[in-house]
Structure 1
Amino acid sequence: MNSGQSVTFRSPLYRVRRAPLLYVFVPSPEGEWLSDTSVLECEAELKRAGVAHLLRAGDVVWDAAVGDEGNVGRMVWDGGYLLDLDYTFSMTGELPQYLHSLAFPPSYFHRVIRSVNNPMCYIDISPWSEEIADNLQLLQDRVKTETPQGTYHTVVRWVHRSSFVVKPPSIKMRIPNTDLFIDPGWFGTVVVEAEGTNEGLADLQDRCRDAFPPRAGSENKAPGRVFRILRERSRPGEVWIRTVREKERVM
């Protein structure tokens, strides 16, 4: 090989700033749903392969023995253990709610964890409550939706929309109340949307409780941190997220 030629490593299993996908092959007696025993066996397989000590939080492990439909057999390493995906708001599975999405680039799990709709993320927005309250507006929004016949039509809806800025500091910026750091992929403007109803506004205010008076019954309730990343609207330096409420639960 000519020493003057540059060599670029390419792999279908890994892309820069995307979650690595590691394969294991552990037959599951329970079929597609992995039992606790099967998950532990997957961890043991990683140790036998000599790669367990190289795993980082956010790495995705796929048990290829159970198939390749949707996210079947996919788990996420949290830094100590393999976690099953979360099926609270999705029939195909989303990231476990134990992960802090701000610690990873917004597109980190794109196509590694397969999402039918916009992917889930888990963010505590309360540290930016005052800024969100100052920028909050009720707006009319036009969105294109697809009909069962495959045609598109425009729907007008009301949304509560606000934004806050994640400023790149001179040193690493910690995620509030954790030992983790915010990934630079989030630096810039984060646009927050909520349903344009009284219930949607109340839910957003509960997430920003430092800037709004607490509602009756919400004092002892942990603020919601489940959102969807709006892929079509997001771009470098501007990430759009939408609140996900309890009424959207599927399990």
Structure 2
Amino acid sequence: MRGVSVPVHAYAQSASSILSSPSSEEGVRLIHEMKKETRAFNRVVLRLRAQAEADAEQSAAIRRKRSIGSQAQRQNHGPPLSWSAGAAQGQGSKHRSASRQSSRAPSPTSSVWSQAQGSQAHLPLGTTSGGFRSPLFRLRRAPLLRVFVPSPEGDWLSDAGVLECETELRKAGILPLLRVGDVIWDTALGDEGNVGRLVWDGRYLIDLDYTFSQIGDIPSSLPALAFPPSYFHRVIRVAGDRNPIAHFDIRFWGEEIIANLQLLQDRVRTETPQGAYHTVVRWVHRSSFTIFPPPGGTPMIILPNKERRAVDPGWRGTVVVEAEGTNEGLADLHARCRGVFQRRAGDVAPPPGERERMVWRVLRERSRPGEIWIRAVSFKERLTP
């Protein structure tokens, strides 16, 4: 299949050959061939996305019908026998084990009996009952599209190079199919870190944000709540074992965060400059808020192209918020929650200076479905002034 069978390293090798002799007949033929490969690849990926979403929608409709049928059966015959009082007494150890597990926050991927009351049963996010699998696209993940634009300036694309990348998307015929958050990779620049990766904001290709990372993070203009929590996982890479940067506006839940705020001791594992690891006890300010499904009063998210989008279902549940256990950390958290009486805070685009108060790290090692942990990123972590 055109574009799919070409190994990734072949693009960078071809770009190096083209830049060494740009005016040769072989170079012209090679650049034309590589561009045709990437255009074909993009059409395949977007076709797979459409197929995966259609399969997921069909599976959701089937689950809704089954859920309605099971609810009608429960109304006529009551709960299953295993949930009755007699069965619970006969299985004391299993009942106690289940009660211990129920102390955790409910997962959005739980069973029909725990989540289907008045709603539909859920399958794990990112999969479908039909078993859609593809190495080129995964449901609820950003697609990694390709362009081939050799850059004489090195690993950094010039403005003209970015415009040429947009032209390649237009020539491939996929520009109307792009969505906010789609990632485009200039394969001619190689596969080191996030080199050559750009993000579509609904109107233009924009560069990554290098304020807190040397290899780049999600641009600050893309609010994290508008996308699934793992939307950019392994598409936009992170340095080492660091947690990814995300941008949140938490003012809408400010009252709940302030009401649940606590000062706690926490144990963290830190690495020394010599490479050794130590467990350190530190103080943290910790709170939480809950994101309810619509119509629960959650705000609408405004994207760079003025599109209004609801909070993604992957964020529904509890969000645990952490900040430094110092007076400065407490003041910063209060500043992030200010304007709590403005009930439609999520509908208002933040001023440019306010974006610094919306930078967080998603703590992957502590997060799970239904409970996402985030930590406030302070000004001291900036790499650029």
Do both share a fold (TM > 0.5)? Answer: yes
> Residue 156 and residue 106 in structure 1: after superposition, are their counterparts in 2 closer, same or farther (change >3 A)?
same
Which one of the candidate residues 229, 241, 257 is aligned to 1:132?
257
> Residue 50 and residue 237 in structure 1: after superposition, are their counterparts in 2 closer, same or farther (change >3 A)?
same
Q: 1:160 offset after TM fit, Å?
A: 0.6
Letter in 2 for 1:232: E
Counterpart in the other structure of 2:277: 152
> Residue 77 and residue 172 in structure 1: after superposition, are their counterparts in 2 closer, same or farther (change >3 A)?
farther
Alpha-carbon distance in 2 for matches of 1:48, 1:171: 43
Give the number of equivalent residue pairs: 239
Q: What per-residue deviation string (whole Å, max 9, x for no partner) do you get for residues 162-213 of structure 1? A: 100001124895435672210000000000100111111111110111359x
Letter in 2 for 1:229: V
Equivalent pair of 1:130/1:210 in contact (CA under 8 Å): no
Q: Does 1:23 align with 2:152?
A: no
Equivalent pair of 1:172/1:182 in contact (CA under 8 Å): no
Counterpart in the other structure of 1:196: 325
Letter in 1 for 2:260: N
Q: Does 1:108 align with 2:231?
A: yes
Counterpart in the other structure of 1:118: 243
Q: 1:130 offset after TM fit, Å?
A: 0.5
Alpha-carbon distance in 2 for matches of 1:8, 1:133: 43
Q: Does 1:185 align with 2:308?
A: no
> Residue 26 and residue 168 in structure 1: after superposition, are their counterparts in 2 closer, same or farther (change >3 A)?
same
Alpha-carbon distance in 1 for matches of 2:167, 2:363: 37
TM-score, normalised by the number of residues in structure 1: 0.89
Identity of aligned residues (%): 67
Q: Does 1:236 align with 2:363?
A: no
Counterpart in the other structure of 1:89: 212
Counterpart in the other structure of 2:378: 245
> Residue 171 and residue 141 in structure 1: after superposition, are their counterparts in 2 closer, same or farther (change >3 A)?
closer
* Secondary structure of the corresponding residue to residue 37 of structure 1: helix
The runs of 5 or more residues in structure 1 that have no matched partner are 1-5, 213-219
Q: 1:50 offset after TM fit, Å?
A: 1.1
Alpha-carbon distance in 2 for matches of 1:96, 1:139: 32
Counterpart in the other structure of 2:176: 53
Counterpart in the other structure of 2:202: 79
Letter in 1 for 2:251: S
* Secondary structure of the corresponding residue to residue 233 of structure 1: coil
Q: 1:245 offset after TM fit, Å?
A: 1.6
* Secondary structure of the corresponding residue to residue 234 of structure 2: coil
Alpha-carbon distance in 2 for matches of 1:122, 1:42: 26
Letter in 2 for 1:209: R
Equivalent pair of 1:161/1:193 in contact (CA under 8 Å): yes
Q: 1:51 offset after TM fit, Å?
A: 1.1
Q: 1:248 offset after TM fit, Å?
A: 1.0
Letter in 1 for 2:220: Q
Equivalent pair of 2:266/2:284 in contact (CA under 8 Å): yes
Between Structure 1 and Structure 2, whose CA radius of gyration is higher?
2
Equivalent pair of 1:42/1:63 in contact (CA under 8 Å): yes
Q: Does 1:222 align with 2:340?
A: no
> Residue 97 and residue 221 in structure 1: after superposition, are their counterparts in 2 closer, same or farther (change >3 A)?
closer
* Secondary structure of the corresponding residue to residue 180 of structure 1: strand
Alpha-carbon distance in 2 for matches of 1:41, 1:10: 32
* Secondary structure of the corresponding residue to residue 136 of structure 2: coil
Alpha-carbon distance in 1 for matches of 2:281, 2:238: 25
Alpha-carbon distance in 2 for matches of 1:221, 1:94: 19
TM-score, normalised by the number of residues in structure 2: 0.59
Letter in 1 for 2:376: T
The runs of 5 or more residues in structure 2 that have no matched partner are 1-128, 342-351
Q: 1:151 offset after TM fit, Å?
A: 4.5
